Structure 1
Amino acid sequence: MTTVADTAAAGSIAARLERLPQSRWHVKVRFMIGAVTFFEAFDQLLAASALPVLTEEWNLSTGQATFAVTAASIGMLIGALLAGSLGDRIGRVRTVALGVGVTAIASLAVAFSWNIETFALFRFVQGLGIGGVVPVAATYINEIARSDKRGRFVLIYEMIFPAGLAAASLVAVWVVPNFGWRAMFVIGAVPVILAALLPRTVTESPRWLLARGRTEEAERALADIEAQVSRATGDVLPAPAATDHRVEEDVTRGRLRELFVGRYLRRTVIVSALWFVAYYVNHGISTWLPSLYTKNFGLDLTTALVYTLLSNVTGLIGTFVVAMFIDRIGRRPALVAALGGTVLTLGVLALAGATSGLQVAIFASATTFFLYAINAGLYLYSPELYPTRNRAKGAAFGGLWNRLGVILGPVVVGGILGAGGSLKLVFAQLAGVALIGAIVALFAVETKGKTLEQLNS
């Protein structure tokens, strides 16, 4: 069944959202969703902080340690697909709240695990929640943002994720030695409070409600948002623009196979490849950097941690820079430039021979400047490419490919190092993968300045 999503009496949903000025309501929503994303990032790194202690406490082999780390990644891969379907079926806010609840409860369960098998099992369940929350949350943020400022709006929000990663590392330095690894997972259960508060404080996406044929609910949700924005600004809202944002919406449930037909096939192939490349290179570097600093260059642990933290800082800067310019220059030029920068920094490092820890730290930090910009840009770009009925599925499908990159990148780098390969080869192959990504990005569809309806009508 197809119907015209027409709320002409009060202006279309899209046109009314487009005319909303920035207000405290937007800040509140980004804070609530951002807090969720912060803790999801925090929880993602918990195993890494606990692993050194676990290895000694439970006398783990290398294989068991790898099993403990990858269990969550496999859960995230599956969770991304499950949450995409849920996000399009039961709503963005409810899906995010459900994912946060699963993550938090599983974190508490991990704190009480008694062997590596139960640890890995609970981490797998935790991964289901983590993998699903971030792409669906990004979808929601996309759907409430104005088209002319959507890039900056979404990417400033996306800075929360790398901040959560950095916070997990910093907190672990103090908590694990003083209170043990279990305490980190107890902290990771705190977001269960957010899971309860989210549906009560964040209005469901009017675009999603309309696409599901729930026109009256969409109208009420948007009227509530408009009232909050009007109170926050203390002014009468401007009239919606005369531009017709109406679009035919299929109010039946979207299907995964629709991502692979017509114009969406090209979009899905390109964005999937970009997700894989970005996370393959990112985790191929980040997973092994601390070990390279200590084992290959003989640096002490404190220096290694400082160098690693430097990479996180430059990554945050890269995300901020792309947020400031992506609405002006466009998604495709930004992605091509960031991938090109990644190729350049890794290529120079490979040619230079990676002869010292400081040299690696400088070029690796320059690389993360570009990589974090790519990763954040993809969380903006992916939801833009799909209609409302399939937007969460489309965004979450990228999560599957980034999880594959997360798993394969470190495995390939570890295989090269384990076989006695040189650091030149490590960085050269990462540069080669990034080059493929830069070429693929040249064929990406540009979405700058267009409403989500215009991009998918």
Structure 2
Amino acid sequence: MKVEVNSAAGVGAASASTGLSMGGIVARMERLPGNAMQVRARVLIGCATFFDGFDVIAIAATLPMLIAKWHLSPSQIAFLIAAGSVGQLIGALLFPALAERYGRVKTIAWSSGIIGVTSIACGFAPSYAVFVALRAAQGIGLGGELPVAAAYISEITRAHGRGRFVLLYEIIFPIGLLVSNALGAWLVPKLGWEVIYFVGGIPLILFFTLRHLVPESPRWLGQRGRMAEAAESIAAFEASVKGPLPPLPQTDDVRQAQLSAAHPKRTVRDLFGPLYLKRTIAVAMLWMTCGVIQYGLLTWLPTIYKTVYHAPLQLALNLAVGASVLGVIGSLVCALVVDKVGRKPVINVSFVLCALALFCAAIFHDSSVYVVGAFCALSFGLLGCGFITAYVYTPELYPTSVRALGCGVGSAWLKIAAIAAPALVSKTITANISVAFYAFGAVLFLAAVVIHWLGIETKGQVLEQLEN
């Protein structure tokens, strides 16, 4: 196939065999309208992300039965939740490094295989100790998939409408949470806790199929100097466009991005150097806060309803499902506004409102109605807006050579928080739960302040334009 080259995009290391340069890759990716290959990539990578969300939260639906089955103490429950987070921490650091070396798509396929195999094995776990070990192993795949997938989806999308495109993909994660909670509420009381883990084994299929159905990121291939493969990858996207391709863009933003594409390759040290340190601190606060709330509070939701407010198991599970529905609705609202108002306002406003909701829950902690309302607001604001926007915002802050690593470091902070946060609920669940509500609300408010002062706005800009 003859590769069309932008004559103004000769910046960067061009390949003699294709005439393609990094600037040419940027220009051709930025002129791509929505196409069938992007949809296919979003659906198939989305399946991996769906089951990431599904398997992450499966423990919430099964935890009440596991507590009764193995007579678990609060400290054992916290250790069980934290064990999965330890694995996710390892995966969040390991798989992005593999993605920078071996490619985004191949790495997502590997993580999906780990998720599927270990989920099925969890369903056969004969004891608490074996189950904990399997959840830790599964966490390696769960922690590795999300940051690499976020980097890939950002890299195959042009600047115009990127927030909406990425968010419509990322909505699949809270949908995975919702389906896991819904299936758990429906199937677990009838068929036992094992069934949810057997369903969670479906990602194993992606291990065998993903690499044959989705092209590798052209930006990553170009950064590695594999220009012939980058040309083939771009051609796969271009071939799926309906009608003639638009002309190659010649805007000032694209010219600046082409110049940025010629910058030296960055390393993990640069994430903590003067060029990106403020961004990395903002990313750390963003992801730590999401980890504290998601794993330190929302994972406990059915158990809090059942233990503290004495709700029947079915009602506790149903309330968790309702909160997940609000998370999906919040994600849809966020997808409509994130390209208009920007990433930082969405994150900061959602964090502040969630903090106020938790403060209200702490003040009125004796009233189950207020607490349920606060958790509903938390699910809408955090899962639906703040958390999901993190997957749009983080990849935009770093260049292609360290984009997956930057996402992985951010995700690692989430996992570190997830390891420590469950202990706070375990120590207050039988004493004074309002202490946990106050503490989590304070974390949200502090994160909003840090992101406001240290973060940059990224809406509407070409990825390469954001490197400095």
Query: Which TM-score applies when normalising by structure 1?
Result: 0.92
Which amino acid letter does the alignment assign opposite residue 442 of structure 1?
Answer: H
Q: Distance in 1 between matches of 2:149 and 2:461?
A: 20
Q: 1:45 aligns with which of 27, 35, 57?
A: 57
2:352 matched residue in structure 1: 340
SS in 2 for 1:288: helix
Which amino acid letter does the alignment assign opposite residue 407 of structure 2?
Answer: A
281-290 or 79-88: which moved more? 281-290
Pick closer, same or farther for the CA change 1:307–1:19 going to 2, 3 Å: same
Q: Contact 1:331/1:377 (CA < 8 Å) preserved in 2?
A: yes
Shift of 1:33: 0.8
2:12 matched residue in structure 1: 4
Q: Note the alpha carbon deviations across 1:203-257, whole angstroms, 9 max, x for none.
A: 000000001111121112111211122xxx1x110111113232344686x5322
Q: Contact 2:365/2:433 (CA < 8 Å) preserved in 1?
A: no
Q: Distance in 1 between matches of 2:396 and 2:417?
A: 22
Q: 2:447 aligns with which of 437, 447, 454?
A: 437
Q: Distance in 2 between matches of 1:67 and 1:218?
A: 45
Q: Distance in 2 between matches of 1:272 and 1:433?
A: 13
1:238 aligns with 2:246: yes
2:125 matched residue in structure 1: 113
Which amino acid letter does the alignment assign opposite residue 389 of structure 1?
Answer: S
Shift of 1:60: 4.1
CA RMSD in angstroms, aligned pairs only: 2.2
2:6 matched residue in structure 1: none
Shift of 1:128: 0.3
70-79 or 337-346: which moved more? 337-346
Q: Percent identity?
A: 38
Q: Contact 2:61/2:302 (CA < 8 Å) preserved in 1?
A: no
Q: 1:104 aligns with which of 80, 95, 116?
A: 116
Q: 1:173 aligns with which of 185, 194, 198?
A: 185
2:335 matched residue in structure 1: 323
Q: 2:33 aligns with which of 21, 32, 53?
A: 21
2:90 matched residue in structure 1: 78
Task: Write the mapping of 1:220-299 to structure 2, written as runs, cut at 5 A.
Answer: 220-229=232-241, 233=242, 235-243=243-251, 244=255, 245-246=257-258, 247-249=260-262, 255-299=267-311
Q: Distance in 1 between matches of 2:358 and 2:131?
A: 36
Shift of 1:9: 6.2
1:453 aligns with 2:459: no
Pick closer, same or farther for the CA change 1:219–1:69 going to 2, 3 Å: same
Q: Note the alpha carbon deviations across 1:383-428, whole angstroms, 9 max, x for none.
A: 111111100000011111111222333322332344x3352x3322
SS in 2 for 1:147: coil
Q: Distance in 2 between matches of 1:172 and 1:297?
A: 20
Pick closer, same or farther for the CA change 1:65–1:411 going to 2, 3 Å: closer
Shift of 1:29: 1.3
1:146 aligns with 2:146: no
SS in 1 for 2:126: coil
Q: 2:323 aligns with which of 311, 328, 333?
A: 311
Query: Which TM-score applies when normalising by structure 2?
Result: 0.90
Q: Which runs of 5+ in 2 are unaligned?
A: 1-10
Q: Contact 1:251/1:389 (CA < 8 Å) preserved in 2?
A: no
1:421 matched residue in structure 2: 432
Q: Distance in 1 between matches of 2:72 and 2:369?
A: 32
Q: Distance in 2 between matches of 1:162 and 1:146?
A: 24
Which amino acid letter does the alignment assign opposite residue 236 of structure 1?
Answer: P
